[in-house]
Amino acid sequence: MITFPEGFLWGAATASYQIEGAATEDGRVPSIWDTFSHTPGKVRDGHTGDVACDHYHRYAEDVAIMADLGLKAYRFSVAWPRYGTPGFDFYDRLVDALLAAGIAPVATLYHWDLPQSLQDEGGWTNRDTALRFADYATGVYERLGDRVATWTTLNEPWVSAFVGYGSGRHAPGVRDAASAFTAAHHLMLAHGLAVSALRAAGAASISITLNLTPMLGDPEPVRLMDGLANRIFLDPLLRGAYPDDVLAHLRRFTDVNLDDLPAINQPIDVLGVNYYAPRHVRADPGAPGDAEYPGSEGIAIVPPEGPVTEMGWGVHPECLESLLVRLSREYPGTPLMITENGAAYDDKVDQDGRVRDADRVAFLDGHVRAAHAAIAQGADLRGYFVWSLLDNFEWAHGYHKRFGLVRVDYDTQRRIPKDSAHWYRELIAANGL
């Protein structure tokens, strides 16, 4: 049996646009994802987050499920489009319900649902958005800071910048390399300004969550792609400077204000790590490159070998172990938290009303063991959050990909805890495997 350190934080995660629904209720204003999902051809089968899992109305049922699983914490995101409206009261109700159930609320301030009004002014390509975000962070803290101890500024700024503004595969659907790099810089500035604002307001624990992607393959492509996926955020945030090679690459497309780096490089209490799969890359002079990695011409992303999830992502728990060890060695003194890890599989309800998702159980088991192995090698890992508590709106895939521990029937909104949920309950109760 493997046992985790005392006080290790076991949780599950969700995001506002993916589960809440109530898209037009109680004053909520449109977000870039409302606009994007309602644009024909952007989301599979025209799905939108208008209703999603109806968590806005069903949160009490969902908190009861969390309590039954024994979750120690719940990572949710606050919808910026609800801020300043009567609908923001929802978060008071949610936080109070969590605390009553003995579950620690972990709040993420931004999980991709930028108000459309800010996008109309340039979105993350507009430096003013970073300033507006710091004001928003302060306002949310004033409402919830007496009950929420842990605050995450941004979720996966790489996706916001390079998938939203580079390939356009996500909202706001912009395809421009210069805009992607500019957005990435302004997102980091937004983080730094929000950290300063939250500290001044009295926040106890502040973090940012990065989706970090180990690159495997030929050395030169690996270095370039690691710079574009990982070091472009890690180094400014934790070291106060862009890596020389990344900065030189960025300047092929645009320039950024390096005077912002001191504001970006604010001390954080924990680094959130979202891990799903590595990428395999190789040199290929004829490869056109990938718009999500601007300037990657001559590099091919190789399909994974071995088992894959429903997303087509390779299953490599050993890469989570090596990633955590790398972070602890290259950025020492930064506590780590796995803020998302999970897998989509095409699980079904059987004739007994049960969801037997053995593939997901095996995936989670392997990655939990990898996390424990990293701790044994000195990684200061404080917790693990499964993505996701619920099946939900999976962005451009609509409702076709199911990551949840709990199955959601989108026609009836019935919740069915899967076998993986029962497995996770036992893991939490034992604090180990």
CB 343 within 8 A of CB 359: yes
Q: Rounded CA gap, 322 and 275, in Å?
A: 11
CB 186 within 8 A of CB 126: yes
Catalytic residue selected from 20, 310, 321, 340: 340
Is 394 in the active site?
Answer: no
CB 302 within 8 A of CB 282: yes
Closest CA to 35 of 168, 228, 221: 168
Is 340 in the active site?
Answer: yes
Class of residue 30 by CB neighbours under 10 A (exposed 0-12, middle 13-18, buried 19+)? middle
Catalytic residue selected from 156, 292, 321, 394: 156
Neighbours of 377 (CB within 10 A): 12
How do 279-283 and 336-340 pair as beta strands?
unpaired
CA angle 344, 281, 234 (to 5 degrees): 75
CB 116 within 8 A of CB 178: no
Structure tokens at 213: 């992607």
Tell me which residues are annotated as active site.
156, 340
